[in-house]
Amino acid sequence: MTKLGRELASKGINVISLSVGEPDFNTPDNVKDAAKKALDENYTRYSPVPGYPELRQAIVNKLKNENGLVYEPSQIVVSTGAKQSLSNVILTLINPGDEVIIPTPYWVSYSEMVVLAEGKSVFIDTDIDSDFKITPEQLEAAITPRTKLFMFSSPCNPTGSVYSKDELAALVKVFEKYPNIFILSDEIYEHINFVDKHESIAQFESVRERVIIVNGFSKAFAMTGWRLGYIAANKEIAAANDKLQGQTTSGTCSIAQRAGITAYHDGLESVNEMKEAFLRRRQLVYDLLNDIPGVKTNLPEGAFYFFPEISSFFGKKDANGNVIKDSSDLALYLLNEGHVATVGGDSFGNNNYIRLSYAASDEALKEALRRIKEALGKLS
């Protein structure tokens, strides 16, 4: 959709993109300055495969101070983004035929990474009425003797849903019965959380050894292009990730790593400013979505996405008689008719929805939602 949107835009059409998953802010100045300094200080050579010791220590400090989690630097492996970390974990843990439980909707790459490892994804479906969260009963029903891994994101892309401590505790009760299952906790949206403080499933001692936290700098510090992420895991898994990475990408960009040290060292002031803007936009989009007949939405508790249900439009026709059959058709229709780029929910494993990113200016959001309402109103 982003690509199609750009194609239309290159023809001079004013397209508003609500399809991309990145903050619309610039990287904070203190982080950029650290990168410039790193260049001047000649941090331009190969870095250690799992990251500079100072960065791994900064991550350890962050986990202790912000999350109350105690790790050693040897348990941290820095990578070229949370995406590589997810891929490293899956490739090192999953053998052909192993099952990976993934609640839907899920971030697009999860299931494809499982395919690359020749594993099998086992999906647990959720919907808007359960706020897109699974129950302990659903989790237990999905477990088989072949289950190796459970993976999820909280705050979630694409729904923005956030698991509370109690909800995580209820899932942990199930995992306690199955000691061979690892838990991959994707916490990349940790800091864009509108409910209280972030809760990591790694806080539960009974499963802690089996939890692999994936996190990074892309979303919190608006550093998507810098490619900087990491895992925190038990030493064996960390060593395996280090080994795999050593034969693939090696250590990530030296300059990005030095900037990451500053980002974690200097604290969350810039992050909180971005969060304030996201909070305001969330309310704006929520009100505008609620004003569109046929669209059902919830109020996401984190990230910067809405995942409204739009299945009431399936079966309807556009002015040319084309039938909207699924969420991709609807996203395409909104792009062609309203010039707004969104993403069909089928990309995330739930066809009845579309994903809208509100990482855009207030003006762009108001205009985009006006266009969406108008375009949907034309379907008959």
Strand partners, 184: 151, 212
Binding to ligand PLP, residues 175-194 (CB under 6 A): 186, 188
Q: DSSP assignment, residue 317?
A: B
Q: In the complex, what is the shortest distance from the CB of residue 182 to ligand PLP, in angstroms, rounded to a whole number?
A: 17
Among 59, 60, 69, 92, smallest CA distance to 209 is for: 69
* Binding test (CB under 6 A) with ligand PLP, winner from 15, 77, 82, 379: 82
Binding to ligand PLP, residues 107-136 (CB under 6 A): 107
Sheet containing strand 305-306, edge to edge, reads 305-306, 354-357, 343-344
Q: Which is nearer to ligand PLP, 301 or 329 (CB)?
A: 301
Would you state the structure tokens that stand for residue 287, as one six-digit string? 């009100």
Pairing of strands 76-79, 229-232: antiparallel
Q: In the complex, what is the shortest distance from the CB of residue 85 to ligand PLP, in angstroms, rounded to a whole number?
A: 8
Candidate segments 80-88, 122-130, 259-267, 322-330, binder of ligand PLP by CB under 6 A: 80-88
Candidate segments 76-84, 194-202, 259-267, 287-295, binder of ligand PLP by CB under 6 A: 76-84
Q: Which is nearer to ligand PLP, 80 or 262 (CB)?
A: 80
Q: Which is nearer to ligand PLP, 101 or 288 (CB)?
A: 101
Question: Is residue 81 within the footprint of ligand PLP (CB under 6 A)?
Answer: yes
Residue 95 and residue 111: Cα distance in Å, rounded?
14
Candidate segments 78-86, 131-139, 195-203, 317-325, binder of ligand PLP by CB under 6 A: 78-86
CA distances for 149 relative to 95, 152, 298, 351, angstroms: 11, 10, 29, 24
Q: Which is nearer to ligand PLP, 21 or 349 (CB)?
A: 21
**Burial class for 202, CB neighbours closer than 10 Å (0-12, 13-18, 19+):** buried
Name the H helices within the chain.
2-10, 29-40, 53-67, 82-93, 109-116, 136-142, 165-177, 235-247, 254-266, 269-290, 327-338, 362-377
| Contact pattern for ligand PLP over residues 5 through 24, marking x by CB under 6 A | ----------------x---
* Binding test (CB under 6 A) with ligand PLP, winner from 56, 62, 83, 191: 83
Q: DSSP assignment, residue 28?
A: P
Question: Is residue 157 within the footprint of ligand PLP (CB under 6 A)?
Answer: yes
Question: Is residue 345 within the footprint of ligand PLP (CB under 6 A)?
Answer: no
* Binding test (CB under 6 A) with ligand PLP, winner from 17, 19, 153, 161: 153
- Judge contact between 149 and 100, C-beta under 8 A: yes
**Burial class for 219, CB neighbours closer than 10 Å (0-12, 13-18, 19+):** buried
Question: Is residue 348 within the footprint of ligand PLP (CB under 6 A)?
Answer: no
Q: Which is nearer to ligand PLP, 82 or 114 (CB)?
A: 82
Q: Which is nearer to ligand PLP, 67 or 154 (CB)?
A: 154
Q: Name the residues that contact ligand PLP, by CB under 6 A.
A: 21, 81-83, 107, 153, 157, 186, 188, 216, 218, 224, 229
